[in-house]
C-alpha cells in the first residue's frame, strides 16, 4: 500500500467502526419514527427491517472491522486494505441502500454476499498460517450469509423458517461470537488494566458457557418445545453468570474501558433470565431480545470499538469524559428499553423512543469523537 492511501483504508476497523456507528444512529432514529406509525421504510415488513439492519448491518460491520484487524494480529499476514477494503465497505453500503428500494432480489444477494466476502478475506490468511483455532469465525460468517438468504426468501414462501425464527438464530450466532470473544478478552483486559483483579477462567465453566449457547442454537433451529428450550436457557444463564463472577467485575468500577465490557456481559445473563421467563410463559414482549441487543451487543461493541480504535492508533488505553459519556448513555438506553416498558406499561412507547434517542446519542458521540482518530495515521507512525 502506498503512502498516498488515506489512513481510513489502512485497516478494517477504521472504515467499519465509523460506518457502523454513523449508520446505527440514523437507523435507530428512522426505526423510532417508523414504529410510531409515521413512515413506511422497506419491503421488509414491520420490525423485520429494524432487526435486519441492526443485526446484518450494524453488528456485521463491527464484526467485520474487528476480525479484519484481529486476523492480521493473529496471523501476522495482511488483511484487506486500500482498494479491497474499499470494495468490502462498498458492498456493505450497497446492502444498506438496497433494502430501502423495491429491488428485493438484488438486496438479498448483496446483503448475503457481504459476510461471505469477509469470510474469504479473513479465511485466506488463517489458512495460510494454519490458524486452526480461529477457523470457526469463517464458518460463522458463512452461516450469517445463509441466515440473510433465509430471512429475505422466507416471506416468499421458499424457505421453511419464518423471519422471526431466522432472527432468533442470527441472535444465537452473535451471542456465541460474543461469548467466545468475551471469554478471551474480558479477563485478559481486566488483569492487564487493573492490578490485582485476578480475573480467572475455569475450563469446565468455559465448556458449559460455550456449549450451552451452541445447544440453544440447535433447539431454536429445530423449534423444540418451550420447556426443553427453557432448560437449555437456564443452563446457559447459570454458566454465563458463574463465568462473569470469576472475572471479578466489582473490581472494575474505576476503569471504564473495562467495566463497560463486564456490564455488557452482565446483560447476556439478564437476557437469558428474561428469555427463561418468556419460554415459561411468565413474560411477554421483546424484553429478552433487547437485553441482548441494546445491553449486551450495544455495550460490548461500543466498548470494543473504543478500546481497539485506541490501541490500534497508538493511543493510551484510558477512557476520557467522551468515552465515559458513551458508556453511560448505552447503559441508560438498555435499562430504558428493557425495564421502562416492563415496569411502566403505560409508558411503553415513550420508553422505546427514549431508548432510541439514548442509543443514537451514544453512537453519535462515538462517530464524532472517533472520526479524526479513525481517519488519521497512527500517532506512533506504525502501519495500521
Q: Look at the block and give the residue holding cell 429445530.
A: 222
Residue 382: what pLDDT? 87
Give the pLDDT band (50/70/90) at residue 31: confident
Q: Which residues contact 43 (CB under 8 A, 6 or more apart)?
A: 99, 102, 104, 107
pLDDT value of position 1: 45
Q: Which of 99-103, 214-218, 328-332 has the lowest mean pLDDT?
A: 99-103
Q: In the structure grid, which three cell numbers stand for residue 239, read together?
A: 454458566
**Residues whose CB is less than 8 angstroms from the CB of residue 210 and which lie 6 or more positions away in sequence, other chains included:** 176, 179, 180, 183
Q: Where are the domains of the chain?
A: 1-161, 162-378
pLDDT exceeds cutoff 90 at 232: yes
In the chain, % of residues over pLDDT 90:
84
Average the pLDDT over 116-135 and give the result: 97
SS3 351: helix
pLDDT of 24: 96
CA end-to-end span of the chain: 11
pLDDT band at 275 (very low <50, low <70, confident <90, very high): very high
Give the pLDDT band of residue 128 (cuts 50, 70, 90): very high
Residue 199: name the closest of 153, 261, 143, 156 by CA: 261
> Residue 2: pLDDT above 50?
no
What DSSP designation does 38 have? S
Cβ neighbours around 381 below 10 Å, total? 7
Amino acid at each position: 500500500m502506498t503512502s498516498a492511501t488515506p489512513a481510513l483504508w489502512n485497516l478494517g476497523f477504521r472504515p467499519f467502526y465509523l460506518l457502523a456507528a454513523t449508520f446505527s444512529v440514523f437507523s435507530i432514529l428512522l426505526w423510532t419514527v417508523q414504529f410510531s406509525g409515521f413512515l413506511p421504510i422497506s419491503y421488509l415488513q414491520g420490525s423485520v427491517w429494524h432487526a435486519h439492519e441492526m443485526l446484518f448491518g450494524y453488528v456485521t460491520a463491527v464484526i467485520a472491522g474487528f476480525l479484519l484487524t484481529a486476523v492480521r494480529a493473529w496471523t501476522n499476514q495482511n488483511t484487506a486494505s486500500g482498494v479491497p477494503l474499499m470494495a468490502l465497505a462498498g458492498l456493505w453500503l450497497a446492502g444498506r441502500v438496497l433494502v430501502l428500494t423495491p429491488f428485493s432480489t438484488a438486496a438479498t444477494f448483496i446483503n448475503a454476499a457481504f459476510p461471505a466476502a469477509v469470510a474469504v478475506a479473513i479465511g485466506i490468511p488463517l489458512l495460510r498460517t494454519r490458524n486452526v483455532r480461529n477457523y470457526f469465525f469463517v464458518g460463522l460468517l458463512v452461516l450469517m450469509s445463509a441466515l440473510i438468504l433465509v430471512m429475505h426468501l422466507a416471506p416468499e414462501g421458499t424457505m421453511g423458517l419464518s423471519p422471526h425464527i431466522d432472527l432468533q438464530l442470527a441472535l444465537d450466532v452473535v451471542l456465541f461470537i460474543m461469548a467466545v470473544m468475551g471469554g478471551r478478552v474480558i479477563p485478559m483486559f481486566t488483569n492487564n488494566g487493573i492490578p490485582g483483579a485476578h480475573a480467572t477462567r475455569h475450563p469446565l465453566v468455559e465448556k458449559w458457557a460455550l456449549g450451552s449457547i451452541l445447544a440453544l442454537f440447535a433447539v431454536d433451529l429445530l423449534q423444540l418445545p418451550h420447556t426443553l428450550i427453557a432448560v437449555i436457557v437456564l443452563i446457559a444463564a447459570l454458566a454465563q453468570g458463574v463465568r462473569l463472577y470469576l472475572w471479578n467485575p466489582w473490581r472494575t468500577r474505576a476503569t471504564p474501558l473495562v467495566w463497560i465490557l463486564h456490564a455488557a456481559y452482565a446483560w447476556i445473563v439478564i437476557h437469558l433470565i428474561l428469555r427463561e421467563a418468556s419460554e415459561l410463559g411468565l413474560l411477554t414482549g421483546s424484553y429478552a431480545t433487547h437485553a441482548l441487543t441494546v445491553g449486551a451487543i450495544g455495550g460490548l461493541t461500543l466498548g470494543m470499538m473504543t478500546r481497539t480504535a485506541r490501541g490500534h492508533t497508538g493511543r493510551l488505553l484510558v477512557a476520557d469524559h467522551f468515552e465515559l459519556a458513551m458508556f453511560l448513555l448505552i447503559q441508560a438506553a438498555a435499562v430504558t428499553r428493557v425495564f421502562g416498558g416492563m415496569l411502566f406499561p403505560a409508558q411503553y412507547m415513550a420508553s422505546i423512543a427514549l431508548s432510541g434517542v439514548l442509543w443514537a446519542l451514544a453512537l453519535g458521540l462515538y462517530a464524532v469523537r472517533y472520526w479524526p482518530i479513525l481517519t488519521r495515521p497512527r500517532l506512533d507512525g506504525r502501519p495500521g
